[in-house]
Amino acid sequence: MELFADLTTISVIQVIFWFLAGVISFYFSIGNARIWTSISLGFFLIFISQAYLLAPWSDYPRLAAIHYIIGTVAIMVMTHGFQEYYVFSRTLETGGSKTFVYLGTLAVTLASAVFVFINPEPTYNVLRNIKMIENANWVFLSLINIDMIRKIYLQIRDSDIARGFIAFGAVFVCILLWKGSELYLQVFCWDSDWHLFMQSIGAYHNVDYPGRVNFSIMVNQVGGLLSGLSVGGTFIYLFRLLR
């Protein structure tokens, strides 16, 4: 894979937006109540999972695999956070500590890295499989989070931060479009990684539905951009509201 071969202007802008959203969400997790920690940390990890697009060592297959796994950890941590908030909105009780959330997430990430390094170096096809698992997790857990956010909103709709959860709902709709469109392309072998894989083995791959492919690529790019923008805007709104 040629260095920066897949890097486009859209990808650079997307990573910049996720960097801004990641910094804001991580700072938000430090300066606010423990109940927000998992949600904020999950959004920060999305930036880490996307940052490999700009890394000069992005050709290294094991590093690419770790980035995809971090993306999966991100949505799992986030979903755990929204479930915690739903329980909190009903009982006003919360447990644990910020340190446990940080250390627990770090331990899972390190264990995933060890798993990647003790196994054979991932091939193009293996990396694509790992990326599909990441996207499938994002799609199904985003649907769960949208429903969870709806339930939280119904519990707190008279409070000042209720509109913040409407914004979170919009964020996950954008993420659903972003990750869902990529998963759609992968399922039908219309994604760029499959194209590279076929090239690597000297095979020809004909795409019979260019209209659907181009539309899905457009949805993927627009969804990714709107996801980063909406996350940054949501945390800025919540940060100002809770200060």
The predicted-structure confidence for 86-121, as pLDDT tens digits, reads as follows 988 888 777 778 888 899 999 999 999 999 999 999
DSSP 133: H
The model's confidence at residue 15, banded by pLDDT at 50, 70 and 90, is confident
pTM as predicted: 0.86
Would you state the pLDDT for residue 1?
A: 42
CATH 1.25.40 is right for the domain spanning 9-242: no
Across the range 29-44, mean pLDDT stands at 81
Pick the closest to residue 225 from 15, 19, 20, 40 (CA basis). Answer: 15
Identity of residue 200: S
The model's confidence at residue 7, banded by pLDDT at 50, 70 and 90, is low
Tokens found for residue 188 = 């039908």
The predicted-structure confidence for 170-217, as pLDDT tens digits, reads as follows 999 999 999 999 999 999 988 888 887 777 777 776 777 888 999 999
Tokens found for residue 136 = 């499938």
The domain spans of the chain are: 9-242
DSSP 189-215: T-SHHHHHHHHHTT-----S-HHHHHH
Q: How far apart are CA 127 and CA 124, in angstroms?
A: 5
Residue 201 vs residues 55, 186, 207: alpha-carbon distances, Å = 26, 18, 17
Pick the closest to residue 143 from 165, 170, 172, 167 (CA basis). Answer: 172
Pick the closest to residue 167 from 224, 74, 238 (CA basis). Answer: 238
The predicted-structure confidence for 60-92, as pLDDT tens digits, reads as follows 889 889 989 999 999 999 999 999 999 888 887
